[in-house]
Amino acid sequence: MATSGAVGEGYSGLNGFVSETEHKIMTDLPAELLEYILCFPVLKHVDICNVSCSCKRLHDVCHGRGKVWGHQYKLRWPRLQKHYRQNECCDWLKEYRTRHTVGLQIRRTVVSISKRFFTEVVLGDSFAEIESLGAPEHFCEDELLSILNSDRRKSLTLKYYAKKILYFLRQQNILRSLKMFLEQPAEQQSALEGAVLVDQYCNPLADVSLDGISSQLEEITDKVKKMLRMKNSSHPSLRVTQGDCFAVEDFELERQVVVALNAVLYEQLQYKGNECDYYNPLNSYIHQVLLRRTGIPISLSVLYMTLARKLGVQLEPVNFPNHFLLRWCQHQRGSGDIYDFVYIDAFGKGKQLTAKECEYLIGHQVTADYYSAISTTEVLLRMVGNLLNIGKRGISSLREGNEKSYQLLRDSLDLYLTINPDNVQYLLLQARLYFHLGIWPEKVLDILQHIQALDPSQHGAVGYLVQHTLEHIQHKKHPVEPEVKRRSAAEHVEVQYSVGLIMKHKRSGYNCVIYGWDPKCTMSQEWITTMRVHQLSSGANQPFYNVLVQDGTCRYAAQENLEPHSAPLEIAHPEVGRYFSEFHDSHYVANEELQTRYPEDMAETLGTVRDLYHRLTPSSGQASGQQESPKGPGGSSQDQKSQENKEAMPM
């Protein structure tokens, strides 16, 4: 930018006279106009730095608290604007420098994590260095989001670890919020707020907020009021405004609210219990219940109870076995007689039950204790306990056990032990889970020490885990070099396919991408028998491939069951970024860590891609080969493979 150019050049008329507009330079313009010019979108921060160094006048115009740097900051990081008040006076240059520096630090850290934790399940202790940066939290999150929102097909490994770090950081914030929530007096705790915190912790990357959920419930409340108005235009609930603490005292007026609520929720909006997919964890997340209009007894009960209280009807949660209920007092409040209540089944479209009819729901009699009202903390424990059981169910199921089930179990254990930190049963489960996955050994020792202090009778289980955890810590100090598999080796001559190829399973029909291989099946004899490998024409004596499947599972497939996909597409698997850096039209490009383990596979993959997909346009195949240097992919370690293939299926 020419800062000393003429603004109005004098011109010579017919008589050669010069006009009154003498030579003027840019710096003679008013500061407001200079700021306006320097805020043009085409100018970047480098341009502003250069301009501010050209002379004192422009240096003053580009001062840190001025409009120019404020514009640059907002232009580059628009998501951060919600953290500043409108027209806030701020040192924008300082903010810009800090945010820029944090961005560089975050990217360096993500890259280093990807190199160090390729063979491990990444967990919180891996990300401690992010917190140790001491950088503003919203700057860290914004940079991680910038990584995640970049080109969809590129930087997959960077995105993979950025996502895990963001997941961890948000969960730490939510845990802090949950602890503050639990410290409140019991009468101030809202079941809805607790349910939202559980939802947020299990879905930290989703856009879930208490304000957003409350807004949706307010819309349903307005529909119920509209229904009430048609029946009783003078009903006191119609005068209630958002946030009011109000209770209807007359039983007939309460009944009118319940009738209107049932009509709106179950008839107009078509909410229902999810009988067909009962064990889907989405049924427990309040934002998904509102989105899908279905849930399980406890999630629908929290929704129903919250709506009723907004309209002045006080319902209480009942921890009934196998089927969560609400109770509605029909007589004097504070009664302890279970027959003074009607029990509402929110899962059963608001059906009202007597105490005896409740027993028909579960098929056996229960004591009066099960009809008692419970606290918000107990509601959350029941809700988290459901998620915990779903996670265990998914892991124990051969076909369904995958990364999502392990993540759900870890998340639900975190939540349960935050609410009830001295539960020995779940502390031991958490220690065993971490030990099984080979993660966070120092944390395992802390958990085991806590268990021993709480219950010395557990010394047998604790001692076994302590011994093997110490061995694991020692092993980590002396890591074994990863096995390198070269296609040129004589024992690998029968291996037809290479990492990065998109394949289709001939018998099951699933789409997948190869991320590792063995010249022969390396699984146990028990697994080979269970998977009926002997029924294959070549049995276990053929190459087997580690594949990431479209449905989110990791499988171990026989070579005779796989074929290259005729029209390869991206594989939507959460672990793709762990092994691959990019999707390139018809195949995946292995990242550096994978290439180290399979140093000759990349060239093979490129050759296969050219032969299969670029026969008619050889130039495109050559171009593809020029863009991707055939360094060669790498595979998974034996420990990693044994973990991922527990649920693998060869057939």
Radius of gyration of the chain from Cα atoms?
A: 32
| Domain-located, residue 68 | yes
Last residue of a domain, one of 138, 162, 183: 183
Burial of 587 (0-12, 13-18, 19+ CB in 10 A): buried
Asked whether residue 250 falls in the same domain as residue 302, the answer is yes
Mean pLDDT per 10-residue run, the chain (651 residues)? 45 46 75 92 92 92 92 92 86 93 90 72 59 80 92 89 90 95 95 98 96 96 95 89 77 94 97 96 98 98 97 95 94 79 96 92 87 96 96 72 82 96 95 85 91 92 90 77 91 96 95 97 93 94 96 92 94 93 94 94 95 64 38 38 40 43
Residue 472 in domain: yes
Amino acid (one-letter) located at 276:
C
Contact present, 206 and 167 (Cβ < 8 Å): no
Q: Is residue 642 part of a domain?
A: no
Name the one residue in this structure whose structure tokens are 């845990």: 175
pLDDT of residue 129: 67
Query: Which residues lie across from 501 on neighbouring strands?
Result: 587
Residue 299's contacts (CB-CB under 8 Å, 6 or more residues apart) are 195, 283, 284, 285, 286, 289, 383
Indicate the DSSP class of residue 6: B
Question: Do 323 and 257 share a domain, yes or no?
Answer: yes
Long-range own/partner contacts, residues 567-573 (CB < 8 A, 24 or more apart): 568/502, 568/613, 569/502, 569/511, 570/153, 571/502, 571/511, 571/512, 571/513, 573/513, 573/548, 573/549
Helix (H, G, I), strand (E, B) or coil at 556: strand
- Domain end marker among 16, 41, 76: 76
Q: Is the domain of 212 the same as that of 266?
A: yes
Q: Are residues 291 and 216 in the same domain?
A: yes
Going by C-beta distance under 8 Å and a sequence separation of 6 or more, which residues neighbour residue 524? none
Q: Tell me how many domains the chain contains.
A: 5
pLDDT for res 121 = 55
Count each helix (H run) and each strand (E run) in the chain, helices first.
25, 13
Looking at the fold, whether 517 and 550 belong to one and the same domain comes out as yes
Q: Are residues 195 and 178 in the same domain?
A: no
In a domain, 134, yes or no: yes
Verify that 363 and 428 share a domain, yes or no: no
Distance from C-alpha of 630 to C-alpha of 605, rounded to nearest angstrom: 9
Task: Answer yes or no: do 126 and 152 share one domain.
Answer: yes
d(CA 376, CA 420): 13
Together in a domain, 124 and 198: no
Query: What token pair was written down for 441?
Result: 């050994």
Supply the range of the domain harboring residue 65. Answer: 26-76
- Residue 402 domain flag: no
* Residue 315 counted as domain residue: yes
588 and 471 within one domain: no
Q: Which of 381, 408, 440 delimits the end of a domain?
A: 381
Is residue 373 located within the same domain as residue 429?
no
Task: With respect to residue 286, please indicate whether it lies within any of the assigned structural domains.
Answer: yes
Residue 348 lies in a domain: yes
DSSP 589: E
* 348 and 310 share one domain: yes
